[in-house]
């Protein structure tokens, strides 16, 4: 049975991997930044800043925007996976719906996004009550569990691993859920701190009556999407290298 990589050293290495990937593929990172900036502008303009204020219709719009973003962002994530695992430098932004690798990666990315979105949608439907809170909490735990168990599936798909299936990814991560969770949490700490400050800024702007959308917020969203997207891709790639036995 393979051993999950150490938490702190892997988290640090993942930040190095992300920086190296962006520096090695500036054009790919730049296109991903532009796609994220456009998505951020549209989302900030159409949807309430605070999630609790969203209606069911707003959540459906967010799900649709998430599908578009998953589609447009997939080439960047695939390129970073291949950079970390194979050392491959990609010089083009390959949106290839006819490519099985691209299609599978997008399908799984959106499926995972939809699972987490379903928790919010159910919470919106049930309203603020005890039953709704229990359902939302159970759904969030289930979504997190699935996400952690299939994390190595994405790099496996990206490098065309012959046995990159849901079942094999689940099998390879069996017994490692706590280590994977700890690694993701430690890696996410800088992003979580930044998200908190951003949320405070946006909510504060809304309370003071200033516009809820601003170019700085959209730029911050795009930059964090690219950098932290690359960081978590690097984490998944390192986990794949350590645990990916059956998927290979």
Q: Average per-residue pLDDT in the chain?
A: 86
pLDDT tens digits for range 33-58: 999 998 888 887 777 665 656 777 88
Residues 201-218, mean pLDDT to the nearest whole number = 55
Residues 90-96, mean pLDDT to the nearest whole number = 93
Cβ neighbours of residue 54 under 8 Å, at least 6 residues apart?
47, 48, 62, 120, 124
Residues 71-76, mean pLDDT to the nearest whole number = 96
Residue 173 has pLDDT above 90, yes or no: yes
Confidence at residue 126, expressed as pLDDT on a 0 to 100 scale: 73
CB 218 within 8 A of CB 37: yes
Confidence at residue 52, expressed as pLDDT on a 0 to 100 scale: 58
Residue 227 has pLDDT above 90, yes or no: yes
Residues 131-157, mean pLDDT to the nearest whole number = 87
pTM: 0.89
What is the residue extent of each domain of the chain? 7-243
Residues 199-207, mean pLDDT to the nearest whole number = 54
Q: Which residue has the higher pLDDT, 160 or 211?
A: 160
* CA gap 85, 81 in Å, rounded: 6
Q: In this structure, what token pair is assigned to residue 229?
A: 């997207």
Nearest to 166 by CA among 54, 246, 234: 246
Confidence at residue 48, expressed as pLDDT on a 0 to 100 scale: 67
In percent, the amount of the chain with pLDDT more than 90 equals 56
CB 195 within 8 A of CB 22: no
How many other CB atoms are found less than 10 A from the CB of residue 193?
10
């Amino acid at each position: 049975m393979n051993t999950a990589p150490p938490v702190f050293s892997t988290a640090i290495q993942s930040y190095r991997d992300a920086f190296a990937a962006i520096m090695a593929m500036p054009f790919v990172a730049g296109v991903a930044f532009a796609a994220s900036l456009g998505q951020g502008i549209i989302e900030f303009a159409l949807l309430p800043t605070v999630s609790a204020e969203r209606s069911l219709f707003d959540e459906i719009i967010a799900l649709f925007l998430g599908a578009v973003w998953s589609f447009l962002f997939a080439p960047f994530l695939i390129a970073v996976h291949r950079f970390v695992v194979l050392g491959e430098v990609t010089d083009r932004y390959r949106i290839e719906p006819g490519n099985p690798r691209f299609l599978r990666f997008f399908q799984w990315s959106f499926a995972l996004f939809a699972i987490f979105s379903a928790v919010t949608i159910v919470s919106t439907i049930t309203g603020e009550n005890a039953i709704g809170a229990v359902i939302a909490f159970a759904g969030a735990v289930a979504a997190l569990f699935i996400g952690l168990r299939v994390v190595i599936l994405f790099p496996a798909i990206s490098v065309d691993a012959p046995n990159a299936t849901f079942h094999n990814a689940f099998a390879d991560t069996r017994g490692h859920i706590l280590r994977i969770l700890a690694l993701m949490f430690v890696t996410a700490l800088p992003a979580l701190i930044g998200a908190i400050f951003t949320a405070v800024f946006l909510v504060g702007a809304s309370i003071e009556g200033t516009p809820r959308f601003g170019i700085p917020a959209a730029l911050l969203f795009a930059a964090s999407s690219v950098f932290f997207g690359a960081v978590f891709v690097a984490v998944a790639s390192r986990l794949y290298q350590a645990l990916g036995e059956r998927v290979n």
